[in-house]
Structure 1
Amino acid sequence: MAAADDRQHDRETSQSESFVQDLLTRTVGQWDGYIAEYQAERAARGRPITWYEQPGLDKGAFATLVAVHIRAAPAVPEDPEDPRPWTWHAFALGDSCLFHLREGRLITSFPIADGDGFGITPQLIGSRNWDAELIADRASTATGELRADDELLLATDALAAWLLSHPEIASGGSGKQLGKLADLGEETFAEWVQSERDKSRMRNDDVAFIRMRVKTEG
């Protein structure tokens, strides 16, 4: 049993490092090109990079990360009486979160489960960090099964912290709150975020919110 567990751990570690390496190629690998374009655009507008801005560009950017990969069930299940479910596999560095909803209920919050899990020094991925092994070692992974009409929601840390720590959630349930927010249009959602910031109920930080819903053919 121990040997099997070790092999499973090695496979998961290898998959995490492969994911991170691909991520770094598509992000860190493009950073210098992005900076060059930004510098050229600033120069064209007559506002070249100043001496005090340059150290920040040299240092790079840092962000939390949550990513999810959805694997579909086979088109023709081996056992029609017991078909394999769809699954999700998530990877997180820092405190951006994935929420798994089923029938309006929150059944998984990853990698943080409650408002007490948020701090001021989360793990971050840097735009100049090529160490895939180190990043994979510091990251968290999780997996779950998906059914028809399940939802996966991804939220950056300020919004995730609001969802998991705001007292109003106790009355309607965090799943209900998430569903309501996901139904808002982009403009209305932006207005709601600004309102919460103005009331000092949400940190003034970048907010991103992505919704995915499992649908079956019919």
Structure 2
Amino acid sequence: MTPVPRRREAFTLSDERLERADRIIARYPGKLAAILPILWLVTEEKGWISPEAMEWVAAKLDCSPAKVQAVVTFYTMFDDHPVGKYKLQVCRTLSCELMGARRIVDHLRERLGIELGQTTGDGMFTLQEVECLASCGTAPMMQCNLKFYEHLTPDRVDALLDELESREPEWEDVEPVIWDRPSDDAYRAMFPESGKALRRERTGGAEVEEL
């Protein structure tokens, strides 16, 4: 059987966002400089950036669709495929990894029943790992849509998911959620062997008094 090609539908933004797009483009001496905020307008309206949307942006900014695609696929805040209502992006770089990001990812995989890059069957959550989100002092952390959730523990992840399942996504809310740093006892419970391997290496295996 000959496969039926996907029907391509013309893309456009709502009248309100079209006006915003024109105002944004007018701020810059060259149209291409507006590509990031224009792509974000598309994301606000559709949730992801389709090939048709990339072609629309390219025509709007007088550039090639390939240039738009290069930007979309470079930044983790943009998606070229459908994603869930809530996009959970766990930072995987050094500070977060050392503070337990792997445990957070594993807990999310188990709780949601999906792997990295997948979306739950109800379309609610997409799980991703991303590079540094510039919140190293609050590791481990993740970004959910536009919010930062910091000093994560498995219990805090569960509380967050319970809350998100009970309300609508808030794309416009960019205020970070500030949680207190867990106590030292909480960290010791998460990493009972923390520092011991390094001390053993430095002392040639000799026991040293705990500080």
Regarding TM over 0.5, the answer is: no
Select the structure that is richer in strand: 1
Question: Considering only CA atoms, is the larger Rg found in Structure 1 or Structure 2?
Answer: 2
The structure showing larger relative contact order (alpha-carbon pairs under 8 Å, at least 6 residues apart) is 1
Q: Indicate the TM-score class for this superposition, using the shorter chain for normalisation.
A: under 0.3
